[in-house]
């Protein structure tokens, strides 16, 4: 089955790529979740639009990625969260929460899929998260989780 990817799928491709996958994988997983659309001859126009949108969002080059990395590593993000008396959070901090907190602190807009936590953040204190800014550049963000 030939499909056009609409989102980044790890191990398969990036948005706008035309990929060949098994019928069941495409029909039962990729298409229902909105990760891909069926390939058609008219779909080539969609491929160019998707690739153009991806190019706008991408980091310009390696030098720009290093600038973003330095800015992220210089920041300490304070995240208030509901916590009990022992310092344990009610719930946890997710990668989407981290991306939103970086944006709110004046940092660059991050894709939540590019933010990786070593383990779920469930306690008050200092934690770190890694951000894939560019395929060759990874930044470490310091998070200060406080009871709030």
pLDDT of residue 55: 67
- Among residues 148, 139, 102, 146, the alpha carbon closest in space to that of 121 is found at 146
The string of pLDDT tens digits covering residues 114-141 is 899 988 899 999 999 999 888 788 899 9
- Among residues 62, 64, 46, 66, the alpha carbon closest in space to that of 54 is found at 46
Domain ranges of the chain: 2-57, 62-147
pLDDT of residue 88: 93
Listed as ranges, residues in the chain with pLDDT below 70 are: 54-61
The conformation of residue 84, written as its DSSP 8-state character, comes to -
Asked: is 2-57 a CATH 3.40.50.300 domain? The reply is no
pTM for the full model? 0.64
Note the CATH number of domain 62-147: 3.10.430.100
């Amino acid at each position: 089955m030939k499909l056009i990817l609409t989102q980044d799928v790890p191990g398969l491709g990036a948005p706008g790529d035309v990929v060949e996958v098994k019928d069941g994988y495409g029909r039962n997983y990729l298409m229902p979740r909105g990760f891909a659309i069926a390939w058609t001859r008219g779909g080539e126009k969609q491929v160019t639009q998707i690739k153009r949108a991806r190019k706008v969002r991408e980091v310009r080059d390696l030098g720009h990625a290093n600038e973003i990395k330095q800015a992220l590593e210089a920041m300490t993000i304070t995240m208030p969260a509901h916590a009990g008396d022992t310092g344990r959070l009610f719930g946890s901090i997710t990668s989407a929460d981290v991306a939103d907190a970086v944006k709110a602190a004046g940092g660059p807009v991050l894709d939540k899929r590019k933010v990786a936590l070593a383990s779920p953040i469930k306690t008050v204190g200092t934690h770190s998260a890694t951000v894939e800014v560019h395929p060759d550049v990874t930044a470490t963000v310091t998070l200060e989780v406080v009871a709030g």
